[in-house]
Structure 1
Amino acid sequence: MKQTIAIIPARAGSKRIPNKNIINFGGKPLIAHSIEYANQSTIFDDIYVSTDSKVIKDVAVKFGAKTIDRPKALSDDFASTVSVLKHALSDLDDTVETVVLLQPTNPLRPKFLLQEAFKILSKKSHKSLFTVSENCRKLGKISNDKFMPFNYEIGQRSQDLEPLYYENGLLYITTPHLIKKNIIFNEASYPLIVNHKFAEVDIDTYDDLKFAQFVLNNYNEE
């Protein structure tokens, strides 16, 4: 029987915020938000946390996840997320058909985002999906002390810009086939637009953590 699993990567060696993945956020460890989000659906056969930390393992099990021991070689600042997913799959059997990546640094997600994403995949020919948000800023680059507009012409109104989108990190749905090719999504993956305040939360610094707490306290999860 083919399985759908969630994988949550959570190493111990965060530097900007020590022990970031288990820091208190909204009254519980940061990683617990992603585990509980996965658990509130009926989509997953299993939920795994890939970690090199016994403390994180204990937290993961407490909140209802299974764990995968991540080797030291995949636990430093240079290890890619896809390499962690690839290792996790090597620990599992070949019945896994769909992998959902939930990053613990994106703890806030619209309540029904997961269900919406799988509903889209069931109706379309896409096998993978990732979430994006619209960016309405006037962007450019600086070269030789000159500002060179990228997505607009000087004098153009913001409301007349052609929208651009960025990966917000809320959700990635992928396959073992893509992971074995060392990618999580590709040009054929479906870009699910999520224009919600939760999509602006990505915790890497203490300022990010303060902003996330503000969003948690002031925005609805729907």
Structure 2
Amino acid sequence: MNKILAIIPARGGSKRLPRKNVLDLHGKPLIAWSIEAALRSRYISKTVVTSDDEEILDIAKRYKADTIERPDELASDSATTFEAIKHAIETSDESYKYIILLQATSPLRDEKHIDEAIELLNVKNADAIVSVCEMEHSPLWSNTLDDDLSMKGFLKEEVLNKRSQDLEKYYRLNGAIYIANVKKFLENGSFFLKENIYAYVMEKSDSIDIDTQADFDFANYLLSVRKG
């Protein structure tokens, strides 16, 4: 496999769940779960945490990740993930063929998922891999509502009276793994390339994306059940 750089972006600020990246999740800071998973991967060459926050950077060093101090202009609410990743690539003292984005908010994604996604990249000779999971509810059972809350025409005729198991499966992004060829990523400004991109399918139970206290509590419960 070609050299792969794992990037874990983690800002200090978070509105819905303050300081979530450093909160203790089943015995270790939230961000540590992603760092350890990346370091245990058989294929990742280097793991770097990019952050504007001193506490996050200190935790990253304690868990043996490399660190990049993100400039203030890349730590604002208006700064994009692409800009932070581009800065991490340009700051690195080595060149890599692939990057893998591992968001700290996906603590149930482990090294097995990472390695399987990278192996899929190799098997497909792909330029990008993005993780997904099956949707909890079919979007065919959803629609918009007018101000008067009328449900006239809410469901299409072909969906009426169908059981959920008879509906076509839909998948959603789960935010756990994004892999791309570095050159193609920089050219496109996104992991979502127009071609030669494939999905890595994960279980819903491994796809928790922590945004709220309820998400955090559920992840903590799942980890306590799995790890005792």
Q: State the AA in 2 paired with 1:124.
A: K
Q: Distance in 1 between matches of 2:21 and 2:219?
A: 14
State the partner residue of 1:76: 76
Matched, 1:166 2:178: no
Q: State the AA in 2 paired with 1:212.
A: A
Matched residue pairs, number?
Answer: 219
With over 3 angstroms needed to count, the CA separation of the structure-2 counterparts of 1:176 and 1:111, relative to structure 1, is closer
More divergent stretch after superposition (77-86 vs 211-220): 211-220
Greater percentage in strand: 1
Instruction: Give the alignment's TM-score, normalised by structure 1.
Output: 0.90
State the partner residue of 2:200: 192
Q: State the AA in 2 paired with 1:179.
A: F
With over 3 angstroms needed to count, the CA separation of the structure-2 counterparts of 1:219 and 1:151, relative to structure 1, is farther
Percent sequence identity over aligned pairs: 35
Asked whether the 8 Å contact 1:4–1:45 carries over to 2, the reply is yes
State the partner residue of 1:98: 98
Q: Distance in 1 between matches of 2:192 and 2:183?
A: 10
Q: Distance in 2 between matches of 1:204 and 1:39?
A: 24
User: Within 5 A, what are the aligned runs for 1:198-213?
Assistant: 198-199=206-207, 201-213=208-220
Structure 1 residues without counterparts, runs of 5 or longer: none
SS in 2 for 1:105: coil
Deviation of 1:146 after TM superposition, in Å, equals 3.6
Give per-residue Cα distances to partners, 1:50-74, cap 9 Å, x unaligned.
0001111111011010111111111
Structure 2 residues without counterparts, runs of 5 or longer: none
Matched, 1:218 2:213: no
User: Within 5 A, what are the aligned runs for 1:24-35?
Assistant: 24-35=24-35
Asked whether the 8 Å contact 2:138–2:170 carries over to 1, the reply is no
Q: Distance in 1 between matches of 2:206 and 2:50?
A: 24
Deviation of 1:150 after TM superposition, in Å, equals 6.9
Deviation of 1:43 after TM superposition, in Å, equals 1.4
State the partner residue of 1:141: 143
Runs of 4+ in 1 over 6 A off after TM superposition: none
